[in-house]
Amino acid sequence: MLSVLCAAPCRAQSTTTPTDPVEAGKSAMKSGSYPWYDPTQDELKRINVKPPKAPPQTQSASKSWFEDWDFSGLKTLFESLGEVARILIYTVAAAILGLLIYFLVKVFLKRSTENDDGGDEEEEAEIGGVDRIDELPIQIAAPRGDFLSEARRRYEAGDYSGAIVYLFSYELLHLDRHQRIQLTKGKTNRQYLREVRAIPRLQAMLARTMIAFEDVFFGHHPLDRSSFEACWQEVDEFQRLAPPGGAT
Consecutive H or E run containing 44: strand 43-44
- Residue 187 reports pLDDT greater than 70: yes
User: 130-141: per-residue pLDDT in tens?
Assistant: 457 778 888 888
- Residue 6 reports pLDDT greater than 70: no
At 191, the pLDDT band (50, 70, 90 cuts) reads very high
Question: Please, which residues have CB within 8 angstroms of residue 166's CB and are 6 or more apart in sequence?
Answer: 140, 143, 147, 148, 150, 151, 154
DSSP letter (8 states) at residue 38 = E
- Residue 8 reports pLDDT greater than 60: no
DSSP letter (8 states) at residue 46 = -
At 40, the pLDDT band (50, 70, 90 cuts) reads confident
**Cα-based angle 161, 167, 168 (whole degrees, multiple of 5):** 95
For 153-179, what is the mean pLDDT?
94
Which amino acid is it at 229? E
Share of the chain above pLDDT 70, in %: 62
Question: Please, which residues have CB within 8 angstroms of residue 177's CB and are 6 or more apart in sequence?
Answer: 125, 126, 128
- Residue 12 reports pLDDT greater than 50: no
Q: Is 37 helix (H, G, I), strand (E, B) or coil?
A: strand
- What span, in angstroms and rounded, lies between the C-alpha atoms of 92 and 83? 14
Determine how many CB atoms are found less than 10 A away from the CB of residue 246. 14
The pLDDT mean for the chain works out to 76
DSSP letter (8 states) at residue 17 = S
> In the chain, where does DSSP find H-type helix?
2-16, 21-31, 61-64, 72-127, 130-133, 147-156, 160-177, 189-195, 200-217, 225-232, 235-241
For residue 59, the model assigns a pLDDT of 52
At 3, the pLDDT band (50, 70, 90 cuts) reads very low
- Residue 38 reports pLDDT greater than 90: no
Q: How far is CA 12 from the centre of its chain?
A: 122
Is the entire prediction scored with pTM above 0.85?
Answer: no
One-letter-per-residue 3-state SS of 132-195: HHCCCCCCCCCCCCCHHHHHHHHHHCCCHHHHHHHHHHHHHHHHHHCCCCCCCCCCCHHHHHHH
Q: Is 43 helix (H, G, I), strand (E, B) or coil?
A: strand
User: 110-158: per-residue pLDDT in tens?
Assistant: 766 555 554 444 444 444 444 577 788 888 888 878 899 999 999 999 9
- What span, in angstroms and rounded, lies between the C-alpha atoms of 197 and 9? 178
- What span, in angstroms and rounded, lies between the C-alpha atoms of 100 and 94? 10
